[in-house]
Amino acid sequence: MSTLHTVNKSPFATTALVSCLGHCKDGDAVLMIEDGVYGGLAGSQMAPIVEEMGKKVALYVLTPDLAARGVDASRLLEGIEGVDYSGFVELVTKHDRTQAWL
């Protein structure tokens, strides 16, 4: 049993991502969407937290949201995987439930 968590807020603006990562179980996945994609930025103040807390979960970002914001995939933390909209759907089907962190 596993959960797909989605986070759509910037980690610099709200605590949604940190709270989400703090509530994840082993085997869960976290998909960063909309302004949530900034949580994947390497070299940011949030990066060490995301890197450490993200060790037990699979981290994904929605690539159309990255592109919209001018963030190149090369700027992401290592280990974060980009998915498109059909990849999003696939993640939903692979997990038992989806939980949105708004």
| Residues making contact with another protein (CB under 8 A) | 8-10, 12-13, 34-35, 38, 41-45, 47, 63-65, 67-72, 75, 84
- DSSP conformation letters of 1-39: --EEEEE-S-TTT-SHHHHHHHTPPTT-EEEE-GGGGGG
Rounded least distance, CB 62 to another protein, Å:
9
| CB closer to another protein, 28 vs 65 | 65
Q: What amino acid occupies position 68?
A: A
Minimum distance of another protein from residue 46's CB (angstroms): 8
